[in-house]
Amino acid sequence: MLTERISITPEVRSGKPCIKGTRITVYDILEYMAGGMTHDEILKDFPSLKEDDLRSVLRFAADRERRLAVSSV
């Protein structure tokens, strides 16, 4: 479940969606991926993260995009 991996807490990173238990935002991970980093490279740089965290970031972004598309119709 998405909420098991992604949290939004007003006092953590100004309420930006973060990987739960970290200060790493969804945006940070998406930027790393967009810049060409592989999952393995990200996991090596952030050993506290798991592959499921990265999949959750992508799911979160896809869900947000879907909600935006539906709301603009």
Q: pLDDT class for 2, splitting at 50, 70, 90? A: low
Q: Are 40 and 62 in contact (CB under 8 A)?
A: no
Please say if the pLDDT value at position 54 is more than 60. yes
Nearest residue to 40 via CA among 28, 25, 30, 50: 50
pLDDT in tens, 8-46: 999 999 999 999 999 999 999 999 999 999 999 999 999
CATH architecture of the region 2-66: Orthogonal Bundle (1.10)
Domain ranges of the chain: 2-66
Reduced 3-state DSSP string for the chain: CHHHCEECCCCCHHHCCEECCCCCEHHHHHHHHHCCCCHHHHHHHCCCCCHHHHHHHHHHHHHHHHHHHHHCC
Please say if the pLDDT value at position 73 is more than 80. no
Q: Is the pTM of this model over 0.75?
A: yes
